[in-house]
């Protein structure tokens, strides 16, 4: 069904996705008049944040789960745009723990149908990378920068006063990269293929491909929880529960407050 026809006369809704419950901690509590819906084995929370209609959901971990959730958001709930908040491992030079990466493109680092197709190329799409929506990404980048300024000014004990916001390529794969040598090998392999990747995670490229197929705006912001090295598994749980939730809540609030009212589809 054509996306534009399906959304006609439907109120524009921003879907906010995260992979883990801790990453969305606090956002559900802020919903005005929340309504929970169970569909496809998932919980979807509809309501309003700062006067804007939103739908909160967990993507699940990995590309298949994320693609399923994105499809449900578009085909069943008719959302108008999707924003992903979560954590990632830093791969790029200068991307440190506590930094934020806003993706301008996504690729699957474990896509390999060679020799039938070039490595990393998604068959039948004829492309390796799927772009984030330009306008929404710009809004999200500005919101992330504003969020860091607010956190540094309001929290005297904030652990990342030198945190920066980066924008670039993010790689997804069905593996938690957690070894220094593995991370180095992945970085070198992608660099040799012409892909300067800033961060690695497990969902973004799948959602980007679904949104490309449906011609729906998608953008993603990832807080760097680790350097995808031997300490990644030690840092991850604490960071997600104590830091990522604060980032996610602040960035999303900034996004919604700063966004102009979206036109009806």
Q: Can you tell me whether residue 235 is helix, strand or coil?
A: helix
Q: Which of 108, 140, 109 is nearest to 220 (CA)?
A: 140
Q: Kindly report the backbone phi and psi dihedral angles of residue 218, in degrees, each rounded to the nearest multiple of 5, phi listed first.
A: -140, 140
Q: How far apart are CA 77 and CA 44, in angstroms?
A: 10
Residue carrying the six token digits 């490595």: 119
CA atoms within 13 A on the CB side of 11: 10
Q: Can you tell me whether residue 187 is helix, strand or coil?
A: helix
Q: How far are the Cα atoms of 3, 8, 35, 217 from residue 213, in angstroms, in the given order?
A: 10, 18, 28, 11
Active site residues: 23, 226
């Amino acid at each position: 069904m054509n996306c534009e026809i399906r959304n006609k006369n439907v109120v524009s809704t921003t879907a906010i996705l995260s992979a883990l419950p801790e990453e969305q901690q606090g956002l559900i509590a802020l919903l005005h008049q929340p309504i929970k819906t169970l569909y496809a084995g998932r919980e979807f929370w509809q309501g309003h944040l700062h006067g804007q209609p939103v739908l909160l959901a967990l993507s699940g971990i990995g590309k298949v789960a994320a693609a399923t959730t994105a499809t449900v958001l578009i085909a069943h709930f008719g959302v108008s745009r999707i924003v992903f908040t979560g954590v990632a491992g830093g791969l790029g030079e200068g991307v440190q723990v506590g930094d934020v990466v806003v993706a301008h493109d996504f690729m699957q680092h474990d896509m390999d149908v060679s020799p039938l197709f070039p490595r990393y190329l998604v068959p039948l799409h004829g492309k390796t990378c799927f772009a984030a929506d330009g306008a929404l990404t710009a809004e999200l980048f500005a919101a992330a920068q504003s969020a860091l300024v607010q956190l540094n000014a309001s929290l005297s004990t904030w652990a990342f006063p030198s945190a920066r916001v980066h924008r670039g390529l993010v790689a997804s794969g069905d593996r938690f990269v957690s070894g220094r040598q593995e991370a180095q090998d992945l970085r070198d392999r992608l660099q040799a293929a012409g892909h300067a990747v800033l961060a690695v995670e497990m969902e973004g490229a799948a959602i980007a491909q679904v949104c490309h197929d449906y011609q729906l705006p998608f953008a993603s912001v990832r807080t760097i929880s680790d350097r995808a090295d031997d300490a990644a598994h030690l840092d991850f749980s604490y960071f997600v529960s104590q830091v990522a939730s604060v980032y996610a809540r602040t960035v999303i609030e900034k996004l919604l407050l700063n966004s102009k009212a979206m036109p009806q589809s």
